[in-house]
């Protein structure tokens, strides 16, 4: 019998101030059901719903911390707690927070780990399923790099190199087990260089930082403090990395080799990891995060729709009234793959692909509802489809769709596609809404 999922045995409470905000905050860790994952919720905001700690729900921050959230609320500096849960192999827990940042505590994950270990774990009736990483994953940007290599256990090798006289280069490499994490990584504290400290405060960082919860390095030594490890800065980078990696949404075994990375670089490789989730984890809860101006980019669209190149035909969602209507667009480029064989001498966008793009717009509208997040919309019927004008290379398609009927497992939209003010296509589309496409349910849909 393999490993089983586990949660914490009882509720645990932590209080302190946010290291960046400087505001007091209280969080409570609560046991959670098997297969529910790590979830965060804001208790100071009415009607706040828990969201999964997965990369799809990460909000763009300013680089000094990892931020999770929705379009209406955020929680920053979650990485130390996530590292503790990752390192101790906690699969399911609810994190209830009454503010927008987790408490700094002593700048490490030590208090989380000590308290969780004292309370103990509850083994659950569900297997701990590991992500299937079979090929190397790379991320490279200037002097930052991460490689994730297939392995039979979790290992991390990290190189810290600030190229600065106040902090010499450091290297740490180890397998990651609960025992090693507890004794060699969890107590490593956050840090910065002396010359960075004041500049960071002016930028709004570190309002709750002090010499006790932050190592401020000068000439390779912390000011008004003492090192817990000679390479404590490097070990803290490993701690941050393990926290960010847990946002993959599923445990995995691999050898992670990282050089000089911070949260931004870590999260870019975690986005790649998400594609390796096994089927039972693939369609976890996702949340809509609109881009500037209330629009949704293609990256945000991918958080809701399972479609990918070359079959994702939406570039942007321009506006949406949840559950009612939506406006999307696609720029029809000259280099679209379908023009290579569809009347090459007189290229025209295939009508069936216009219908598909229109349906994706309607599908996004229905799947973005909280109750449908993580589900898939399959075609059931297409009715009253009419093509009014050809769509040519260089045209900009605008899609307008409205929900006309919705039930628990089905939905129906009426949609129209325009180029400028000219109607080019219209159709009524009916969908079946299913949970992550289980094989038997998929079979039933095709038999209808």
How confident is residue 91, by pLDDT bands cut at 50, 70 and 90? very high
Per-residue pLDDT, 160: 97
**CA atoms in the 13 A half-sphere facing the CB of 260:** 13
Buried b (16+ CB within 10 A) or exposed e, 110-149: bbbbeebeeeebbebebebbebebeeebebeeeebbbbbe
Inform me whether the pLDDT recorded for 126 exceeds 80: yes
Per-residue pLDDT, 435: 78
**Lookup result for tokens 């070359």:** 310
Distances (CA, A) of 362 to 126, 365, 368, 416, 426: 36, 5, 10, 10, 12
Inform me whether the pLDDT recorded for 323 exceeds 90: no
How confident is residue 282, by pLDDT bands cut at 50, 70 and 90? low
Residues 6+ apart with CB under 8 A from 162: 169, 193
pLDDT, greater one: 167 or 59: 167
Give 4-282's CATH code, choosing from 3.30.1490.190, 3.20.20.120, 3.30.230.20, 3.30.70.270: 3.30.230.20
Active-site residue flag, 346: no
What mean pLDDT do residues 113-131 have? 96
Residues 6+ apart with CB under 8 A from 278: 129, 131, 132, 250
The mean predicted confidence, pLDDT, of the chain is: 89
Inform me whether the pLDDT recorded for 285 exceeds 90: no
Inform me whether the pLDDT recorded for 438 exceeds 50: no
Write the pLDDT tens digit of every residue in 180-213: 999 999 999 999 999 888 777 777 777 888 998 9
Q: Is the link from the previous residue into 310 a cis peptide, with omega within 30 of 0?
A: yes
Ranking 45-54, 259-268, 380-389 by mean pLDDT, the lowest is: 45-54
What mean pLDDT do residues 117-124 have? 97
Write the pLDDT tens digit of every residue in 405-416: 888 789 899 999
Catalytic option among 86, 236, 263, 307: 263
What mean pLDDT do residues 131-154 have? 93
Inform me whether the pLDDT recorded for 317 exceeds 60: yes
What mean pLDDT do residues 87-106 have? 97
Per-residue pLDDT, 157: 98
Per-residue pLDDT, 296: 78
How confident is residue 305, by pLDDT bands cut at 50, 70 and 90? confident
How confident is residue 167, by pLDDT bands cut at 50, 70 and 90? very high
Per-residue pLDDT, 379: 87
How confident is residue 53, by pLDDT bands cut at 50, 70 and 90? very high
Per-residue pLDDT, 294: 59
Boundaries of every domain in the chain: 4-282, 293-447
Q: Which residues pair with 316 in a beta bridge?
A: 329
Give 293-447's CATH code, choosing from 3.10.129.10, 3.40.50.800, 3.20.20.60, 3.50.50.60: 3.10.129.10
Inform me whether the pLDDT recorded for 420 exceeds 50: yes
Per-residue pLDDT, 275: 80
pLDDT, greater one: 15 or 280: 15
Write the pLDDT tens digit of every residue in 387-404: 999 999 999 999 999 999
% residues pLDDT > 70 (the chain): 92
Inform me whether the pLDDT recorded for 287 exceeds 60: no
Tokens of 247: 């946002």
Catalytic option among 164, 236, 342, 446: 342
Active-site residue flag, 307: no
Write the pLDDT tens digit of every residue in 330-378: 999 998 989 989 998 899 999 999 999 999 999 998 888 766 767 888 9
% residues pLDDT > 90 (the chain): 67
- Own/partner pairs, 58-63, CB within 8 angstroms, 24+ separation: 58/247, 58/267, 59/289, 61/263, 62/203, 62/204, 62/205, 63/262, 63/263, 63/264
Per-residue pLDDT, 302: 80
The backbone torsions φ and ψ at residue 149, rounded to the nearest 5 degrees and listed phi first, read -110, 140
């Amino acid at each position: 019998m393999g490993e089983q999922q586990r949660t914490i045995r009882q509720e645990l409470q932590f209080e302190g101030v946010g290291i960046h905000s400087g505001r007091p905050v209280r969080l409570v860790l609560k046991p959670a059901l098997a297969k529910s994952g790590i979830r965060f919720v804001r208790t100071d905001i009415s009607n706040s719903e828990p969201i999964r700690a997965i990369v799809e729900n990460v909000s763009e921050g300013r680089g000094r911390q990892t931020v999770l959230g929705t379009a209406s609320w955020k929680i920053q500096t979650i990485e130390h707690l996530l590292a503790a849960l990752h390192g101790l192999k906690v699969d399911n827990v609810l994190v209830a927070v009454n503010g927008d940042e987790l408490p700094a505590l002593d700048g490490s994950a030590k208090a989380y780990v000590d308290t969780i270990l004292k309370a103990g774990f509850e083994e659950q009736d569900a297997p701990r399923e590991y992500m299937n990483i079979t090929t190397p994953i790379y991320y490279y940007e200037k002097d930052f790099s991460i490689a994730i290599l297939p392995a039979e256990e979790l290992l991390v090798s990290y190189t810290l190199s600030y190229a600065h006289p106040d902090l010499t280069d450091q290297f740490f490499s180890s397998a990651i087990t609960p025992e090693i994490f507890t004794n060699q990584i969890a107590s490593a504290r956050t840090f910065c260089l002396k010359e960075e400290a004041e500049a960071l405060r002016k930028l709004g960082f570190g309002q709750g930082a002090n010499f006790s919860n932050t190592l401020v390095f000068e000439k390779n030594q912390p000011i008004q403090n003492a090192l817990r490890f000679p390479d404590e800065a490097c070990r803290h980078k490993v701690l941050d990395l393990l926290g960010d990696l847990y946002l993959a949404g599923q445990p995995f075994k691999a050898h992670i080799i990282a050089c000089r990375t911070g949260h931004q670089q870590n999260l870019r490789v975690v986005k790649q990891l998400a594609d390796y989730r096994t089927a039972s984890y693939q369609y976890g809860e996702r949340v809509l995060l609109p881009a500037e101006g209330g629009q949704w980019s293609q990256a945000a669209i991918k958080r809701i729709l399972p479609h990918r190149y070359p079959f994702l035909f939406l570039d942007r969602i321009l506006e949406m009234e949840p559950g009612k209507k939506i406006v999307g667009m696609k720029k029809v480029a000259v280099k679209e793959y379908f023009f290579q064989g569809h009347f090459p001498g007189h290229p025209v966008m295939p009508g069936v692909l216009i219908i598909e793009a229109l349906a994706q717009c309607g599908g996004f509208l229905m799947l973005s509802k909280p109750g449908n997040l993580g589900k898939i919309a399959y075609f059931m019927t297409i009715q009253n489809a009419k093509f009014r004008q050809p769509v040519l290379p260089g045209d900009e398609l605008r899609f307008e769709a409205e929900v006309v009927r919705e039930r628990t497992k089905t939905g129906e939209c009426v949609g129209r596609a325009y180029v400028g003010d000219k109607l080019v296509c219209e159709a009524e589309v009916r969908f079946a809404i299913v949970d992550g496409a289980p094989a038997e349910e998929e079979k039933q849909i095709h038999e209808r």
